[in-house]
Structure 1
């Protein structure tokens, strides 16, 4: 009767879910309620060339709808299958899932089959009836269970669960970052293509000018000064061409690393840098939206919840541990008599272990748990502040790049006209050749500046898409999969598909 009452009380405590975890209150977001307004923030671009977000938030906007370049889309698709960093992130999720399942299993009793046999000899003067040899055979079941009265195991299970969910959010953040990195790197390769084209055109023009000035010098109608000035432009353009060719090759190598395989020979045709019609009107929403859109913020909050659960486990360590162990089976001095009538045997052994003196270990563990929670609160708040800053910076850039590029384009046109006029004046003997060389150099600089500004504008749009939580779904309208969804890489080195996400 006493045994039945103890089990009933234990079951009642387990069902009630007793825990000593502190009540969790989400920390207030340490940022303004809205993103900055006025000045550069009020000149956000509208939809470009009919390609519009239609008010859809970045997190609900598929990356195939955000990027229109078919080659870029194909590269992103390959990277999502092959990138090794993303694969490690997915494997980390599987590892954290297994750790959670191990911790959760401690809530339940363990049951083992037991078979044992022993044979012993006892000195004759220590035995009755001269029986010096004895044998014992046992077959049965053994069970043990720590009753979680104070919620210690449940808190450890909650801690493992939140760490698992944090790892899943880290994997999601890794995918968003990968989509952005592939797009940025692809655009960088295109920018180097444009820079090389400008440099090659400049080099060709400089070589033509050098040949003319050399001919004039050789015939005595030109000066050595003009010749050497023309030569400097040729040498500078040649050096720039080699440097840009090197950087272009290295940029392609970085792209290959991101996609996880050599660039396929049958890639779809791409678009030039200036024709990348990336969405420009993705709405920013409110800073509070980032709490549900940004996986890095959700990861930080899961880590905070894990630290909160750890406090419950540290508190429960001050209270007694109650365990139940028992066995049931058959026991016999002979192997053949194990299952005969009257051979049944059982034992039941409840135990209580109460901490009395542990040198302050439990107090120190509780203090540590409180400090770790404070650390996680600070990191959670920093994640929000970082996200707010990244989005605000992206909006400031998005509000200024179009006007800057328009001005740089007009400046490039003016520099081209200036070069044309300088050449005309030089041919008519009005100006020296130095005026032509200066105009040529300034045009080259203006062209490079314009290309770099176009690249910066596009990469800012890509990064802002990531900062707002975009890049998780492929097509707008797709049902977002859970952050811990299994990944099938379709290769021998791929992780084994995991079971359904565990319940909390």
Structure 2
């Protein structure tokens, strides 16, 4: 038994050998700085040093996001995948240690001897009993070339990749809930605008109808007034459905009913709920994006699998052994004289497999090269998404100012045109055109407010989320 333990310890001490290639993180195939000039901001948004920079500022939206993180089914699937990957890693890691099995046996036999064998005049029955208790090791592989260790390392990295994948799912969920909440607020504003426009159009139809009856206005004025009324009413009906669908979308993301008190009444109410995240100056921040981290762990796993494939070309040394007690009597089973042990080292070497072993190494290298490309592509996609968000962020304020100027001009023009029509100075067509322009300008104002807030969410997601959300890491129960 001592010899068995000595051999196992010697095997464990030599198992640190590995045939894996030395892992080197590939250089990021992107510029080190964000684009500047043209549509891009002069300086990327950055928080003050040491200052907190939360992105989600509205308590209502924070509550919805927290509920979604608890209930969302996609996140539950991701967390279940983490648990499965962690269990697989533990299974593979267990192969680094010998598996001990205990056994106990009792054997009873009866043999009938003829009188010629015993010298007696009759047959004699001879009974025998045996007892055994053993602890044994069955075919433990001494990992001289690191095959088992490399497989364990590959499973560890795939487990870590699944955790990063869950964080990516969480980041997507946070952004989707915020965007759905903003869409609902914007559609609420559009519905109010449509209802106000319909109410104004109804008053216009009543006035034009009275002028028609008095012989002051032609029938065409009435029909034109009815046209804009019908358009506004159609928009009201459509937007009521859209608002209801917005709530349904939020319920799906949150994973349960949504309290009406947590919804914003208008885009004006919701626009300040999202702050501009800090992009910093260097693009290396993208290396902390969950999907980029997930891709890198996949690359590390593929690198470890090369080591396992290389080690498979060498002999495998395994040990089977047992130690215990065996006796013909139960009373003398656990005595020194009853102790017994056995050890059976074995070597297996498949030295000819028609090239299958080398092909396994080539396949592992090809998977590693694919993992490198996947990692580099993840970084490039992250850079493109962030650059796109920054480009829009650099111009959206100017567009918003122009839209606001148009809205103010359209509102004043509509008031003047309506007053002149009511005073009989201008034809109804001028008032009608001014009303249509004002209606369109109001819709454009809502659209630019929504796009400004969504752009901040896009930038948050493109940068990989993290601390700016200030919601914290995955709860310990979900790890």
TM over 0.5: yes
> Which residue does the alignment assign to 1:425?
420
TM-score by length of 2: 0.89
Aligned length: 469
Deviation at 1:376, TM superposition (A): 0.7
Secondary structure in 1 matching 2:39: helix
Q: 1:255 to 1:372 in 2, by over 3 A?
A: same
> Which residue does the alignment assign to 2:461?
466
Q: Aligned runs of 1:321-470 on 2, under 5 Å?
A: 321-333=316-328, 335=330, 337-339=332-334, 342-470=337-465
Unmatched tracts of structure 1, length 5 or more: 47-51, 489-494, 499-504
Deviation at 1:73, TM superposition (A): 1.9
Q: 1:445 to 1:432 in 2, by over 3 A?
A: same
Alpha-carbon distance in structure 2 between the residues aligned to 1:153 and 1:281: 45
1:73 and 2:62 matched: yes
Q: 1:238 to 1:123 in 2, by over 3 A?
A: farther
Secondary structure in 1 matching 2:134: strand
Alpha-carbon distance in structure 1 between the residues aligned to 2:163 and 2:20: 23
Q: Aligned runs of 1:478-497 on 2, under 5 Å?
A: 487-488=476-477
> Which residue does the alignment assign to 1:315?
310
- Please point out which of 226, 232, 247 is paired with 2:227: 232
> Which residue does the alignment assign to 2:205?
210
1:287 and 2:276 matched: no
> Which residue does the alignment assign to 1:305?
300
Q: 1:117 to 1:86 in 2, by over 3 A?
A: same
Secondary structure in 2 matching 1:85: helix
1:142 and 2:141 matched: no
Query: In the TM superposition, what whole-angstrom CA distance separates every residue of 1:341-392 from its partner, at most 9, and x where no partner exists?
Result: 6322211111111113334432332221111111111110011001111111
Deviation at 1:179, TM superposition (A): 1.9
Alpha-carbon distance in structure 2 between the residues aligned to 1:449 and 1:260: 32
The 10-residue stretch of structure 1 (85-94 or 152-161) with the greater mean CA deviation from structure 2: 85-94
Pick the structure with greater CA Rg.
2
Is the 8 Å Cα contact of residues 44 and 398 (structure 1) preserved in structure 2? no
Deviation at 1:36, TM superposition (A): 0.7
Unmatched tracts of structure 2, length 5 or more: 119-123
Secondary structure in 2 matching 1:330: strand
Query: In the TM superposition, what whole-angstrom CA distance separates every residue of 1:123-173 from its partner, at most 9, and x where no partner exists?
Result: 989xx9898876543211112421000000000011011101111111122
1:169 and 2:168 matched: no
> Which residue does the alignment assign to 1:87?
76
Query: In the TM superposition, what whole-angstrom CA distance separates every residue of 1:15-61 from its partner, at most 9, and x where no partner exists?
Result: xx110101111111111121111112135698xxxxx932469xxx5
Query: In the TM superposition, what whole-angstrom CA distance separates every residue of 1:424-481 from its partner, at most 9, and x where no partner exists?
Result: 3333444432222222112111111110111011111122122223245764xx9x75
Query: In the TM superposition, what whole-angstrom CA distance separates every residue of 1:50-100 from its partner, at most 9, and x where no partner exists?
Result: xx932469xxx56xx322222112222222222222232223222211111
Alpha-carbon distance in structure 1 between the residues aligned to 2:84 and 2:342: 38
Alpha-carbon distance in structure 1 between the residues aligned to 2:56 and 2:3: 70
> Which residue does the alignment assign to 1:49?
none
Deviation at 1:178, TM superposition (A): 2.0
1:111 and 2:112 matched: no
> Which residue does the alignment assign to 1:12?
13
Deviation at 1:108, TM superposition (A): 0.6
Is the 8 Å Cα contact of residues 75 and 170 (structure 2) preserved in structure 1? yes
Q: 1:276 to 1:28 in 2, by over 3 A?
A: same
Q: 1:131 to 1:397 in 2, by over 3 A?
A: farther
1:36 and 2:32 matched: no
Is the 8 Å Cα contact of residues 157 and 298 (structure 2) preserved in structure 1? yes
Secondary structure in 2 matching 1:469: coil
Deviation at 1:250, TM superposition (A): 1.0
Secondary structure in 2 matching 1:324: strand
Is the 8 Å Cα contact of residues 409 and 450 (structure 1) preserved in structure 2? yes
Is the 8 Å Cα contact of residues 70 and 268 (structure 1) preserved in structure 2? no
Alpha-carbon distance in structure 2 between the residues aligned to 1:68 and 1:453: 20
Q: 1:266 to 1:216 in 2, by over 3 A?
A: closer
Is the 8 Å Cα contact of residues 55 and 469 (structure 2) preserved in structure 1? no
- Please point out which of 239, 244, 254 is paired with 2:239: 244
Q: 1:152 to 1:45 in 2, by over 3 A?
A: closer
Q: 1:473 to 1:309 in 2, by over 3 A?
A: same
Secondary structure in 2 matching 1:384: helix
Secondary structure in 1 matching 2:274: coil
Secondary structure in 2 matching 1:108: coil
Q: 1:328 to 1:462 in 2, by over 3 A?
A: same
RMSD across aligned C-alpha pairs, in angstroms? 2.9
Alpha-carbon distance in structure 2 between the residues aligned to 1:350 and 1:124: 41
> Which residue does the alignment assign to 2:121?
none
